[in-house]
Amino acid sequence: MPSLRGGEADEAISKSGLLRPSGARNDVLLGVLTLFFLVVCFFAGSAAASPGNVTGTKKLWVGERLVYSVRWGILEVGRGEAEVKEIVPVGDRQAYHIVIHVRSAPVLDWIYKVRDVHHSYIDVERLHTLRYEKILSEGHYRADEVMEYDQTNHTARYHSRLNGSRKEMMIPPDVQDQLSCGFWFRLQELQPGSKIYIPVNADEKNWDLEVKILKKTKIDLPKFGEKEALEVEPEIQFQGIFVKRGKIRSWVGTDERQIPLKMRVKIPVLGSITAHLVEYQSGGGPADTIEES
pLDDT single digits (tens) 216-235: 999 999 889 999 999 988 77
Which among 77, 40, 35 is positioned nearest to 60, based on CA atoms? Answer: 40
Rounded distance, CA 259 to CA 256, Å?
A: 8
Distance CA 33, CA 5 (A): 22
Q: Which residues contact 89 (CB under 8 A, 6 or more apart)?
A: 95
CA distances from 85 to 61, 62, 98, 262, 287 (A): 9, 6, 6, 22, 17
Short-list 267, 273, 233, 271, CA closest to 252? 233
Helix (H) or strand (E) holding 276: strand 271-281
At residue 218, the pLDDT reads 96
CB atoms within 10 A of CB 21: 11
Given this model, what pLDDT does residue 13 score?
42
Torsion of CA 37, 177, 61, 248, to 10 degrees: -20
> For residues 33 and 66, is the Cβ–Cβ distance under 8 A?
no
State pLDDT tens for residues 133-163.
Answer: 999 998 898 999 999 999 999 999 999 999 9
In this prediction the pTM is: 0.79
Residue range 29-36: average pLDDT? 46
CB–CB of 61/283 below 8 Å? yes
Question: What phi and psi values does residue 68 have, to the nearest 5 degrees?
Answer: -125, 140
